[in-house]
């Protein structure tokens, strides 16, 4: 094998492997985007989650070029240049040519954590380490006389400059609709989730594009990567075969074609089997890789379903423990308010009786001192002694708890629906049958069990006898 053929085979093999790896990565990402159900901000499940909503912040950044209110932006300034080069061709003759291009002379950017809001609430997103897809908010090309040329650009120029600069800025603006796929964890400062980059193989994507657009891009990217990977592998196979294209032409010419260059027919006659073997080999690798991704995706979907069911149990446990305690606290406040109101009424009555000869005022005052001492302790624990406000807060907690359970239930049902759709549809069905993947026996979540009943919550005070 000649030296150039060895280089062709080595480069072709590396390129084919890289394209295969990239295609597998795109397919895995596409399946994750399709398989992970969209969560509401108020019902985020800890772990890999998908959210859709608007970017929000009370203290936005101001972008450098467009001066817009943003949460993430990057900008760059490029300068155009043109020069004449002298070169020598293969025959030793000297020629000149004009070459031109663009050189980046300045760039920058900044980002801040922001809230992703929807109709149920908001979730903190920390974009550090994320694959961020933005939109262009500023693009302008100017000459040296324009105020932008030196107003936002550097004072220096590149060699052979044509004194033309291009200003570009990409950003995520406040209130932009976003798609977020990342890992959720509990915040260290408050009892709420946040989306951050974690040290796992879970993706972290923040995009201004829709879910459908992302899936379409990943699909076509994988198709092109596999196609060119197959081409690279066939070129490698031809090089390993021991004859380059030039060698094949020479062999065909000496084989009876005289001085005429052979065409496609002659080339296929020399390398047809090698090409076929290269295509079959890559197709086999592509099929094995696809089946591996499908099986692992089904396993992740099943584990995600188990986590979703666990989230329902967590919310049910929260309801069981929280609501009775809140009701007891509200009843305690109401009891002390009632005693206080009764005491005030008794004091007023005793004062009126004293003016008419009554003698029980001192006894009521002594009883009232004990009640007031208890009220002081309660007031330290509950800054507001308003029964209406505490009752309203209890109702808000009940509503919030029931909403959490409803969202967790819907998320679990969505996970089950996605898993069943994958398992029962071709071509994933073939992988399920070949691998004997164990399906999930549990059906959609249905309430009605005794441990799922809402605990009795009552703040009614018994009548004084």
- pTM greater than 0.85 (yes/no): no
The Cβ of residue 427 has, within 10 Å, a number of other Cβ atoms equal to 10
Cα–Cα nearest to 160, from 105, 79, 88: 79
SS3 of residue 118 by DSSP: coil
> pLDDT value at position 297?
86
> pLDDT value at position 364?
53
> pLDDT value at position 62?
97
> pLDDT value at position 451?
47
Cα–Cα nearest to 387, from 449, 332, 448: 332
Question: In the chain, what are the domain boundaries?
Answer: 44-210, 299-452
| Cβ–Cβ under 8 Å, residues 208 and 73 | no
Return the structure tokens found at 351.
């004062």
Q: What is the dihedral of CA 417, 422, 425, 430, to 10 degrees?
A: -150
Return the structure tokens found at 454.
């809402």
Per DSSP bridges, beta strands 131-133 and 193-196 are unpaired
Per DSSP bridges, beta strands 69-88 and 161-173 are antiparallel
Alpha-carbon gap, residue 319 to 325, rounded angstroms? 10
> pLDDT value at position 254?
42
| Cβ–Cβ under 8 Å, residues 110 and 61 | yes
Angle subtended by helix axes 264-355 and 3-35, to nearest 10? 30
Could you read off the pLDDT tens digit of each residue along the chain, which spans 465 residues?
Answer: 456 666 777 888 899 999 999 999 999 999 999 999 898 888 887 788 999 999 999 999 999 999 999 999 999 999 999 999 888 887 888 888 899 999 999 999 999 999 999 998 999 999 999 999 999 999 999 999 899 999 999 988 899 999 999 999 999 999 999 999 999 888 888 878 899 998 777 899 999 999 999 999 999 999 999 999 999 998 888 777 655 445 444 544 444 444 455 566 766 676 778 888 889 999 999 999 999 999 988 888 888 887 777 777 767 776 666 666 666 666 666 666 666 667 666 666 766 665 555 555 556 555 555 555 554 544 444 444 455 566 666 666 666 676 777 767 777 777 788 888 888 888 888 888 888 887 666 655 555 554 455 555 555 554 444
Q: 56-61 long-range CB contacts below 8 Å, 24 or more apart?
A: 56/114, 56/115, 56/116, 56/117, 56/122, 56/174, 56/175, 57/112, 57/114, 57/115, 57/174, 59/112, 60/112, 60/174, 61/110, 61/111, 61/112
| Cβ–Cβ under 8 Å, residues 123 and 45 | no
Query: Alpha helix (H) ranges present in 200-255?
Result: 211-240, 245-252
Q: What is the DSSP secondary structure assignment for residue 255, as one 8-state letter?
A: I
Burial (CB count within 10 angstroms: exposed 0-12, middle 13-18, buried 19+), residue 233: buried
Q: Within the chain, what is the greatest distance between any pair of CA atoms?
A: 142
Q: What is the DSSP secondary structure assignment for residue 254, as one 8-state letter?
A: I
SS3 of residue 179 by DSSP: strand
Alpha-carbon gap, residue 430 to 168, rounded angstroms? 48
Alpha-carbon gap, residue 179 to 162, rounded angstroms? 41
Correct CATH for 299-452 of 1.10.3210, 1.20.1440, 1.10.3470, 3.40.50: 1.20.1440
Q: Which residue has the tokens 């692992």?
A: 296
What does each C-alpha distance from 112 to 53, 59, 115, 175, 191 come to in angstroms? 17, 9, 10, 14, 21
Q: Cis peptide leading into 427, omega within 30 of 0? A: yes
Residues ≥6 apart with Cβ < 8 Å to 225: 19, 20, 22, 23, 26
């Amino acid at each position: 094998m000649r030296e150039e053929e060895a280089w062709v085979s080595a480069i072709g093999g590396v390129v084919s492997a890289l394209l295969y790896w990239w295609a597998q990565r795109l397919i895995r990402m596409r399946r994750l985007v399709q398989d992970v159900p969209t969560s509401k901000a108020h019902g985020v499940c800890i772990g890999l989650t998908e959210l859709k909503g608007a970017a929000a912040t009370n203290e936005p950044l101001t972008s450098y070029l467009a001066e817009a209110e943003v949460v993430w932006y990057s900008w760059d300034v490029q300068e155009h240049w043109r020069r004449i080069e002298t070169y020598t061709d293969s025959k030793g003759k000297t020629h000149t040519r004009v070459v031109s291009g663009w050189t980046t002379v300045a760039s920058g950017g900044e980002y801040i954590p922001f809230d992703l809001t929807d109709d149920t609430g908001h979730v903190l997103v920390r974009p550090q380490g994320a694959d961020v897809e933005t939109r262009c908010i500023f693009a302008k090309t100017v000459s040296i006389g324009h105020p932008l040329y030196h107003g936002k650009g550097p004072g220096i120029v590149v060699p052979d400059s044509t004194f033309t600069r291009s200003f570009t800025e990409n950003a995520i603006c406040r209130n932009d609709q976003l798609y977020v796929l990342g890992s959720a964890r509990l915040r260290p400062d408050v009892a709420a989730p946040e989306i951050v980059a974690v040290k796992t193989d879970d993706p972290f994507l923040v995009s201004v594009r829709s879910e459908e657009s992302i899936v379409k891009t990943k699909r076509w990217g994988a198709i092109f990567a596999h196609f060119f990977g197959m081409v690279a592998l066939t070129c490698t196979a031809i090089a390993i075969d021991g004859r380059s294209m030039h060698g094949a032409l020479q062999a065909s010419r000496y084989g009876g074609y005289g001085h005429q260059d052979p065409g496609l027919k002659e080339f296929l006659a020399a390398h047809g089997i090698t090409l076929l073997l290269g295509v079959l080999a890559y197709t086999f690798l592509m099929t094995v890789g696809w089946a591996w991704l499908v099986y692992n995706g089904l396993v992740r979907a099943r584990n995600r379903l188990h986590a979703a069911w666990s989230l329902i149990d967590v919310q049910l446990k929260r309801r069981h423990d929280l609501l009775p305690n809140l009701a007891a606290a509200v009843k305690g406040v109401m009891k002390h308010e009632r005693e206080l109101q009764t005491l005030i009424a008794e004091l007023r009555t005793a004062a009126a009786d004293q003016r008419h000869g009554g003698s029980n005022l001192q006894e009521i005052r002594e009883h009232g001192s004990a009640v007031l001492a208890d009220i002081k302790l309660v007031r330290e624990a509950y800054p507001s002694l308003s029964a209406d406000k505490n009752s309203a807060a209890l109702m808000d907690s009940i509503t919030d708890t029931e909403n959490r359970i409803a969202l967790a239930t819907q998320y679990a049902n969505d996970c089950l629906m996605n898993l069943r759709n994958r398992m029962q549809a071709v071509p994933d069905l073939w992988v399920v049958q070949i691998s004997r993947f164990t399906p999930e026996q549990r059906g959609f979540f249905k309430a009605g069990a005794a441990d799922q009943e809402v605990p009795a919550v009552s703040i009614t005070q018994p009548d004084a006898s």
